[in-house]
Amino acid sequence: MSFHPTMDYGRGHHKSARALPEEGPAFAYTPENRTRLEEICSRYPPERRQSAVLYALFIAQEQQGYLTLNAMRHVAEVLRCTPAEVEDVVSYYVMFFTRPTGKYIVQVCRTLSCALRGAERVTEALSAELGLQPGETDARREFTLLEVECLGACDKAPVVGVNDDWHECQKAEEVRALIDGLRARGTASLTGCHLKVDQ
C-alpha cells in the first residue's frame, strides 16, 4: 500500500478508523421515552418523521448510555427510515457515542479563543489528574476526557463542558477542584453558564 512515497499511510489521518458499532442487547424505547419521541415527531409533517432522528438518537443514548446497532435499528423502525440512514447520522455528529462512556464526559474546548487562554494546559492537567489521554474512558467508567471544538462561550475561556452542562474560566491549576466537585456533588458543582436563567 504505497500510493505516494512520502505519505505515512497507516498512521494519523489516513489510518482507517472504521470500527463497527456494537450489536448490543435488544433495544426498545421505554413507554415514556416513546411518548416523548412521538410528541417531538408531531413537530414535523407526518410524512417527515425522519427529521426527528437527532432527537430520537439523543433519547436512545439517554436510555442506554450509548448507541448500538440494535438501538439504531429500533430508531429506524420508529421513524420509518432505513437503519443505514440512522447509522449515517450517528457516525457524522460528534455528540453521539457508539462506545460506553464515563458517567461524566469532560469536554475541554480546544479552539483558538479558549486555547489563547490556556485550554491546552487545562487538557494537560486533566489528563494527568485522570490518567487519561483525550478520547479515553477510565476503567471504572467514571470519566471520559474529550477535546471538543468551539462551544460558543469564548468570553469565559477556557470552557469545559461536562455532559450537557458547562464550567467556565477553568484554570489548569484548579482541575483537581473540578474533578473533586464532580465526584462529590455531580454537575451541580459546575459554574454553569454565567447567563444562566434562575428558575
Contacting positions for another protein (CB under 8 A) = 12-13, 43-45, 48, 50-55, 57-58, 79, 81, 85, 88-89, 92-96, 110-113, 115-118, 120-121, 123-124, 127, 133-134, 148-157, 161, 164-166, 192-193, 195-197, 199
Report the DSSP beta bridge partners of residue 108. 147, 160
CA distance 77 to 82: 7
CB of 68 to another protein, least distance (A): 17
User: Which cell numbers in the block locate residue 26?
Assistant: 435488544
Nearest to another protein of 69, 146 (CB atom): 146
CA distance 30 to 135: 30
Element containing residue 78 per DSSP (H, E) = helix 69-79
Nearest to another protein of 112, 177 (CB atom): 112
Count the alpha carbons within 13 Å of 40 in the hemisphere toward its beta carbon. Answer: 18
* 8 Å CB contact between 59 and 36: yes
CB of 70 to another protein, least distance (A): 20
CB of 37 to another protein, least distance (A): 13
For the chain, give the number of residues. Answer: 199
Nearest to another protein of 94, 140 (CB atom): 94
Strands (E), 5-151: 104-109, 143-148
User: Which cell numbers in the block locate residue 119?
Assistant: 485550554
CB of 53 to another protein, least distance (A): 4
CB of 191 to another protein, least distance (A): 12
Integer-rounded Cα Rg, in Å, for the chain is 19
Nearest to another protein of 26, 192 (CB atom): 192
CB of 75 to another protein, least distance (A): 10
* 8 Å CB contact between 195 and 152: no
Nearest to another protein of 23, 155 (CB atom): 155
